[in-house]
Structure 1
């Protein structure tokens, strides 16, 4: 696993497309039981090199019901984004994750992760990639039907502060999804 993580840390396959240059951010251990697959690091995470080291990460840890020490324990949580480097700024937010990362690195990572019991899919990119045809037409429908993907996958919206409107519009998320998420995380850690 360490050799693979070192290879990923040195990856430059999409260097020409990265305004801030490559800085892959990934965290995993062969004992990881839960995998969090998000989109791609933002500028703060690009600067620190620490996954989910921003407001979205703070909200995610709250959703999971874990503190920083537990969240960053690689034997408990592997953190594998769809795109490992900051993709750049778009018109309404960050650009989508670079398409090169997941096909190149996810399978080798999962080949090393033999103890995974839950994969948390955060956002549309992760859900479409891993659920394929089973993903519903929208992120909201996919998350609302989270039971369809258990026990292997649990889809979530992105915990970005920008998603406050989505959370307000979908109060069932806090009532139905978060208790199930916290229950499963507590069982596994």
Structure 2
């Protein structure tokens, strides 16, 4: 038969290893949870502006601490179990935070690679920035600029455009 250990010592088969709390403690915790539930409802009805979410989260964390500590008996358990539990919560919180940061920054505009749909949907102005040293093919490179009244130089195989005031020759 397998041996069981409780808090580092061998346990008797008939020994109780559950912590028994008085009913009065359960009733106090239950009353606290009910008061906090009413507070949660009041916070949701009140117009606290940007403080609504942090206040609601604080009340929820306090309520969960009561449930974890008393109903899950973590308050009377070993420190190792508390360490594992809160360490897990810490890393889950970090992963959620990184996910929310990623989700909240997906709508930012990258002028070189992204389209402007996000900006249009949110009333922002979309002005694409030109890529440096990129030629669109519509300008002549290293060609003299014609002065006023002069015709622009002709391309190879084409007739020169008419100067201002002249009729085009066909």
* Normalised-by-shorter TM-score class: under 0.3
| Greater percentage in strand | 1
The structure that has the greater radius of gyration is: 2
- The TM-score normalised by the length of structure 1 is 0.22
- Asked which structure has the greater RCO (Cα within 8 Å, sep 6+), the reply is 1
